Amino acid sequence: MVDYHAANQSYQYGPSSAGNGAGGGGSMGDYMAQEDDWDRDLLLDPAWEKQQRKTFTAWCNSHLRKAGTQIENIDEDFRDGLKLMLLLEVISGERLPKPERGKMRVHKINNVNKALDFIASKGVKLVSIGAEEIVDGNAKMTLGMIWTIILRFAIQDISVEETSAKEGLLLWCQRKTAPYKNVNVQNFHISWKDGLAFNALIHRHRPELIEYDKLRKDDPVTNLNNAFEVAEKYLDIPKMLDAEDIVNTARPDEKAIMTYVSSFYHAFSGAQKAETAANRICKVLAVNQENEHLMEDYEKLASDLLEWIRRTIPWLEDRVPQKTIQEMQQKLEDFRDYRRVHKPPKVQEKCQLEINFNTLQTKLRLSNRPAFMPSWRSRASSSPTSTCAASSPARPMLWGPGSRPRWRRSGASPLR
């Protein structure tokens, strides 16, 4: 579920606001002040109204389908306020007051008022948009209300390099399409007519989906349909525009283009956040796997060293006197061979064990993981004079940091 956070600023929207951005100002207020937001004559232009109907309906359904429903006629299906309230719940992630289920006009007006009150609670001042007009199926007011919702929940919170709302979205498009030939995004109307900007946006994020070099600037219908079909099939962005409507209109409707482009922004920014989260998880898993390997290596090396100590101690403690000079010489030679050949690599193994142990404990501490406890420590603690007792240099490793058990003077140590 999409969840856009509420802003603290207060903005003014409405069919008759004519760009009067009231309230909190800021980039969104500047945008509303710069354009004739809901000019009555322009809105009634058939081409623009057709584009807005299709785009706004598709945008609403892209969210309503998450709740298992949709609308067919944007003028009629919001009249009772039920799907309007549901739409606001889906896009905000919040619960609205319980709707009234009655069929009377007063029940419908009350439901629409609850929706409008919720919009107003998000810092939006609605001007000339009343519940009665929505209930009566006023197309102008209904489209104005949906545009207000789109602005607030899909565009207002877009922020790119200290610019927000419309300017932030435009800057994002310019940054993403800058490397592409024949693409120069300067606005949300004629800059998109040839379809190359849409294809460039997709190719920038998913290059395997678009063969950009094969697109021709003089074939806008093919370009637009290609982008719309790819976005719907692979990016889960519903088709909100008709290629023919855009090409055959001298100046495509800015609000329709902005609405559709904002869907690309949220789709790609959401994918980027998911990828970042996945990369973090992979890093954590990699660190855990490395720690597991260190533990396994330590256990194996320690086990092998302890086994060698067990076998060597009885030979070192053998005090049986030899009967002949040859036997004494042979035993002395065996001991020299032990000191020269057998003992040095085991001393190195002991040093490596200490290094591995300290490295592993440091890694675990930095990862906020419990300290490593060798599997044989409990066995060693229960029998201090057994196999571990013969290797005093390795005792900090075998008994844990800071432990200094006392050993018998008579005990031989193969690693001394």
Question: What DSSP string describes 160-211?
Answer: ETTEEHHHHHHHHHHHHHTTSTT----SSSGGGTTSHHHHHHHHHH-GGG--
DSSP for 317-337, written as a single string: T--PPPSSHHHHHHHHHHHHH
Above 60 in pLDDT, residue 276? yes
Distances (CA, A) of 308 to 124, 335, 350, 410: 78, 16, 12, 19
Give residue 413's pLDDT: 62
272 falls in which pLDDT band (50, 70, 90)? low
Give residue 318's pLDDT: 83
Alpha-carbon distance of 112 to 118, in angstroms, equals 10
∠ at Cα 55 (78, 7), nearest 5°? 75
Above 50 in pLDDT, residue 322? yes
Mean pLDDT of 295-302: 87
Q: Which residues pair with 12 in a beta bridge?
A: 125
Above 70 in pLDDT, residue 312? yes
Give residue 393's pLDDT: 37
Alpha-carbon distance of 81 to 101, in angstroms, equals 10
Give residue 391's pLDDT: 40
Give residue 270's pLDDT: 64
Higher per-residue pLDDT: 8 or 254: 254
Mean pLDDT of 151-177: 91
Above 50 in pLDDT, residue 390? no
Mean pLDDT of 132-161: 92
Above 90 in pLDDT, residue 52? yes
Nearest to 254 by CA among 164, 188, 184, 172: 188
Above 60 in pLDDT, residue 411? no
159 falls in which pLDDT band (50, 70, 90)? confident
Give residue 106's pLDDT: 96
Above 90 in pLDDT, residue 297? no
Give residue 163's pLDDT: 86
Above 80 in pLDDT, residue 271? no
Cβ pair 11, 124 in contact under 8 A: yes
User: Within 13 Å and on the Cβ side, how many CA atoms surround 82?
Assistant: 13
Give residue 278's pLDDT: 66
The CATH architecture to which 287-399 belongs is Up-down Bundle (1.20)
Higher per-residue pLDDT: 103 or 40: 103
Find the range with the poorest average confidence among 35-49, 81-95, 176-190, 303-317: 35-49
**Tokens at 228, concatenated:** 């719309």
Higher per-residue pLDDT: 275 or 259: 259
Above 80 in pLDDT, residue 2? no
Distances (CA, A) of 53 to 65, 130, 262, 311: 18, 19, 17, 87
Give residue 262's pLDDT: 95
**Tokens at 180, concatenated:** 């592409």
Give residue 125's pLDDT: 82
Read off φ and ψ for residue 402, nearest 5 degrees. Answer: 80, -5
Quote the CATH superfamily of domain 1-157: Calponin-like domain (1.10.418.10)
43 falls in which pLDDT band (50, 70, 90)? very low
Give residue 377's pLDDT: 59
279 falls in which pLDDT band (50, 70, 90)? low
Higher per-residue pLDDT: 402 or 250: 250
Mean pLDDT of 201-225: 96
Give residue 286's pLDDT: 81
Higher per-residue pLDDT: 376 or 14: 376
Give residue 144's pLDDT: 93
Above 50 in pLDDT, residue 223? yes
Cβ pair 173, 261 in contact under 8 A: yes
Which stretches of 255-314 are assigned E, i.e. beta strand? none
Which residue type is seen at 334?
D
- Mean predicted lDDT score pLDDT of the chain: 81
Higher per-residue pLDDT: 219 or 334: 219
Above 70 in pLDDT, residue 38? no
Mean pLDDT of 299-323: 87
Give residue 277's pLDDT: 61
Q: Which segment, 62-66, 325-329, 412-416, is predicted with the most confidence on average?
A: 62-66
Cβ pair 387, 411 in contact under 8 A: no
Give residue 373's pLDDT: 84
User: Within the chain, which residue ranges are assigned CATH 1.10.418.10?
Assistant: 1-157
User: Within the chain, which residue ranges are assigned CATH 1.20.58.60?
Assistant: 287-399
**Tokens at 406, concatenated:** 């006392």
Alpha-carbon distance of 212 to 198, in angstroms, equals 11
What is the SS3 assignment for 13?
strand
End-to-end CA distance of the chain: 67
Alpha-carbon distance of 123 to 144, in angstroms, equals 17
